[in-house]
Structure 1
Amino acid sequence: MSRETMEALTWHGDRDVRVEEVPKPEIVNPTDAVIEVTATAICGSDLHLYNDNVPSMREGDVLGHEPMGEVVEVGDEVESLEVGDRVVVPFTISCGECWFCERGLYSLCDNSNPNAEIARKMMGHSPAGLFGYSHMMGGYTGGQAEYLRVPYADVGPIKIESDLPDEQVLFLSDIFPTGYMAAENADIEESDTVAVWGCGPVGQFAIQSAQMLGAERVVAIDRISERLEMAREHGDAETIDYAEADVYDRLMELTGGRGPDSCIDAVGTDAHGVGLDGVTDPLKRDVKLQDDHPYVLREAIECCRKGGTLSVPGVYVGRANIPFGAAMNKALTIKTGQTHVQRYLDPLLEKIEDSEIDPSFVVTHEEPLDAGPEMYRTFNDKEDDCIKVILTP
């Protein structure tokens, strides 16, 4: 491989990820840095790309938004980083100076998406740019690669100055802050029962974060036995296998008929439904009547107690048919959003350093970068007890 190229995982359509040589990143703006990636992960959100459910992807796009590594080059205006620093890079790209960034709403940055007009046409306004997550979100090269250009380098990366291993701090890039913000958005009080749909990595961190924030009970809902076991073992959660039990009926039994105080949808657009909805949701998507599979969102709205809170960290991409009348008449509070990662980096790193949590508990597979295509398939198909994959270039 020449000095001008690097290995990376690239997108080529539905379930088609390849290892290819692509141009090595360079400093473009004086506020950029370039890192040599030492660890990167496959996120559940990446599976939405893998299954071709996110618009504005192009063949050859480099994937990945959960990277960390060593700084190898900095732009002339970068003040907080030096060559040799070990850093974790947030998946949200934020300028730090716009109206939203100044208020800690980093995932809503006004300046970091160069393709904001694409997002505005679909959403009304553009959120922040994201690494490796479609041209609607900026068309940025992702971090499942040997090197990564990091814009606004003084705002994003957090330096890791301890000897904590990569697998303990890597998830500060996304899934630990995402799970924590999901629990924070759930407005948890000490006597509360919290229901979490989805026991993938974000769901696991939402479960543990709900415990940190004082929930009395956490009920985890999934159909994959190893995920439910992880929720019980590491999150002290009660569990419901939705393939074996009616979720609404079981939650009513557990809460004396009132329903959970807070519900967290940690699944998003690719939810697997049962019964009639499990059949009709894919059909509605196929004929363009909706863009998502909102089965979990519907169920959470129906299950949440009156006056409760629904928190949605799961990624949705467009239109979804949901019972909004139930949400309104039950006076539900609904909080959503991509994670304002930069807001959580310092406090969550402190929790790791103080041994309040070891985020590496979610890791089931560690493989070299060139095993990426196979690991995408394994993760997507839920084979080999796969819950979280770390790739090393």
Structure 2
Amino acid sequence: MKALTWQGKRDVRVEDVPDPRIQEPTDAVIRVTSTAICGSDLHLYEVLGAYLTPGDVLGHETMGVVEEVGPEVTHIAPGDRVVIPFNISCGSCWMCERGFYAQCETTQVRDQGKGASLFGYTSLYGAVPGGQAEYLRVPQAHFGPVKVPDEHPDTRFLYLSDILPTAWQGVRYADVEPGGTLAVMGLGPVGQLATRIAKQLGVERVIGVDLVPERLALAQRYGVETVDLREVDDVPGALLDLTGGRGPDGVLEAVGMEAHGSPLAATAQAAVGLLPDALARPLIDRVAIDRLAALTASFKSVRRAGTVSISGVYGGEVDPLPMMEMFDRGITVRMGQCHVKRWIDEIMPHVLDSADPLGLEDLATHVLPLAEAPRGYEMFQAKSDGCVKVVLQP
């Protein structure tokens, strides 16, 4: 089959790889109909290459049609249309029973000290082949796949794999009461969905912060106030001004480790990325730093006793934080990989609504054949050609 493989820094290629097959009784194999490039895939493209091996198949936002199931998979059958959550969870361990699917004890990558295995996301998370391919083997398929109806195009359902529940969890974690104010740092795909979700859940004011004109304009179409980083040097000051000096009730940080405005950290990340993997891995594991401009701005913007919800991916080990200010102001911080299946039942009525209130069908700015995936990565990273979200179709 054809699959998008990692070959090196900023080097991904569509190549022939072996077809997946059933290996365990809880496996399934699906024929991929749509798969997306996620913002966190760009971290592999640039920063986290030390944990990849040339030939690794990328991708963790996937849906398709079931081709084959193992004998212990009974809730789906060949021919069913399914979405595949990006984290691989068993549904029955201590963590899963409590809804912490991203920490599944059956698939935890203990030798790396990490949580549940993820599709297409480095040796840190199990080196499981990903879904930017024609076919995908799905471990723990007795629990993971989400069956969806045949009506509506793939783009109505595809984002249930990751970015839609990630945005939903981020908004829930921000804990803004109806009538309150939520600021969203970063208006990429997760940030865009978070602003729309917040509106749906009754948040009165939603303020989005970004510097890409197309992202700002898209958020404005959904009634979101915006702060343009090209025009504002002091983001916390701007958000305080917009909220009468108090600050937003919650701030959702949807940027992560490669934030703009962190030149020294960017230089350090680039330097480590040039080292051989054997040298880079221990540095990343012990003394890695992130670009913290968006995160620090979040802590300094939220009101006293407010909540900062972190959906952006971070990988640092020695990141400096403004702890005195955070403590004095009584900030609550919630974060982590999304527990995808924890939120599906809450989200699904909005997905199935014929009016498409979350704008799922208009989020993808570029729908490309799998063969053009390398161009999709280049465009998404550069934010060129008005790119907000890339969907690939094998």
Same fold, TM-score > 0.5, yes or no:
yes
Read off the aligned partner of 1:371 and give its amino acid letter: E
Q: Which residue of structure 2 aligns with residue 61 of structure 1? A: 56
> C-alpha separation between the residues in 1 aligned to 2:122 and 2:30?
21
Which range moved further: 324-333 or 350-359? 350-359
Read off the aligned partner of 1:372 and give its amino acid letter: A
Alpha-carbon offset, residue 322 of structure 1: 1.9
- Residue 99, structure 1, aligned to residue 94, structure 2: yes
CA offset digits 1:261-284 (Å, max 9, x no partner): 1011000001001xxxx3222234
- Correspondence 1:109-124 to 2 at 5 A: 109-113=104-108, 115-118=109-112, 120=113
- Residue 136, structure 1, aligned to residue 120, structure 2: no
Alpha carbons 1:55, 1:136 under 8 Å: kept = no
Q: Of 221, 230, 235, which residue of structure 2 is paired with 1:243? A: 230
Q: Which residue of structure 2 aligns with residue 315 of structure 1? A: 313
> C-alpha separation between the residues in 2 aligned to 1:65 and 1:13?
19
- Residue 360, structure 1, aligned to residue 361, structure 2: yes
Alpha carbons 2:199, 2:206 under 8 Å: kept = yes
- Residue 13, structure 1, aligned to residue 8, structure 2: yes
Alpha-carbon offset, residue 216 of structure 1: 1.2
Read off the aligned partner of 1:315 and give its amino acid letter: V
- Relative to the length of structure 1, the TM-score reads 0.93
- Residue 190, structure 1, aligned to residue 178, structure 2: yes
Q: Of 292, 295, 317, which residue of structure 2 is paired with 1:294? A: 292
> C-alpha separation between the residues in 1 aligned to 2:159 and 2:376?
18
> C-alpha separation between the residues in 2 aligned to 1:339 and 1:360?
22
- Correspondence 1:161-240 to 2 at 5 A: 161-234=149-222, 236-240=223-227
> C-alpha separation between the residues in 2 aligned to 1:347 and 1:361?
21
Alpha-carbon offset, residue 191 of structure 1: 2.4
Alpha carbons 2:265, 2:289 under 8 Å: kept = no
Q: Provide the secondary structure at the position in 1 that maps to 2:294.
A: helix
Alpha carbons 2:33, 2:63 under 8 Å: kept = yes
> C-alpha separation between the residues in 1 aligned to 2:372 and 2:94?
42
- Correspondence 1:251-262 to 2 at 5 A: 251-262=239-250
> C-alpha separation between the residues in 1 aligned to 2:165 and 2:66?
22
Q: Which residue of structure 1 aligns with residue 275 of structure 2? A: none
Read off the aligned partner of 1:244 and give its amino acid letter: E
Alpha carbons 2:183, 2:209 under 8 Å: kept = yes
Which range moved further: 322-331 or 187-196? 322-331
Which range moved further: 319-328 or 104-113? 319-328
Which range moved further: 239-248 or 32-41? 239-248
Alpha carbons 1:263, 1:304 under 8 Å: kept = yes
Which range moved further: 376-385 or 278-287? 278-287
Q: Which residue of structure 2 aligns with residue 123 of structure 1? A: none
Alpha carbons 1:67, 1:144 under 8 Å: kept = yes
Unaligned runs of 5+ in 2: 273-282
- Residue 373, structure 1, aligned to residue 374, structure 2: yes
CA offset digits 1:94-127 (Å, max 9, x no partner): 01111110001111111113x4211x1xxxxx31
Alpha carbons 1:32, 1:151 under 8 Å: kept = yes
Alpha carbons 1:90, 1:341 under 8 Å: kept = yes
> C-alpha separation between the residues in 2 aligned to 1:326 and 1:58?
41
Alpha carbons 2:118, 2:128 under 8 Å: kept = yes
Alpha carbons 1:13, 1:52 under 8 Å: kept = no
Number of matched pairs: 376
> C-alpha separation between the residues in 2 aligned to 1:365 and 1:214?
30
User: Displaced runs of 4+ in structure 1, greater than 4 A?
Assistant: none
Alpha carbons 2:197, 2:358 under 8 Å: kept = no
Alpha carbons 2:363, 2:388 under 8 Å: kept = yes
CA offset digits 1:107-161 (Å, max 9, x no partner): 1111113x4211x1xxxxx311100001110110000000000111121111112
Alpha carbons 2:9, 2:49 under 8 Å: kept = no
Alpha carbons 1:116, 1:136 under 8 Å: kept = no
Alpha carbons 2:258, 2:266 under 8 Å: kept = no
Alpha-carbon offset, residue 346 of structure 1: 2.8
Alpha-carbon offset, residue 54 of structure 1: 5.6
Alpha carbons 1:267, 1:315 under 8 Å: kept = yes
Alpha-carbon offset, residue 55 of structure 1: 4.5
Alpha carbons 1:184, 1:213 under 8 Å: kept = no
Alpha-carbon offset, residue 357 of structure 1: 2.7
Which range moved further: 63-72 or 159-168? 159-168
Unaligned runs of 5+ in 1: 1-5, 121-125
> C-alpha separation between the residues in 2 aligned to 1:173 and 1:36?
15
Alpha carbons 1:116, 1:137 under 8 Å: kept = no
> C-alpha separation between the residues in 2 aligned to 1:329 and 1:52?
34
Q: Which residue of structure 2 aligns with residue 3 of structure 1? A: none
Alpha carbons 2:182, 2:207 under 8 Å: kept = yes
- Residue 389, structure 1, aligned to residue 390, structure 2: yes
Alpha-carbon offset, residue 318 of structure 1: 2.2
CA offset digits 1:300-321 (Å, max 9, x no partner): 1111111000000100112222
> C-alpha separation between the residues in 2 aligned to 1:258 and 1:109?
39
Read off the aligned partner of 1:145 and give its amino acid letter: A
- Correspondence 1:26-41 to 2 at 5 A: 26-41=21-36
> C-alpha separation between the residues in 2 aligned to 1:290 and 1:80?
42
**Aligned-residue CA RMSD (Å):** 1.3
CA offset digits 1:211-255 (Å, max 9, x no partner): 122211011000000000011103x11001112112122111111
Alpha carbons 1:31, 1:153 under 8 Å: kept = yes
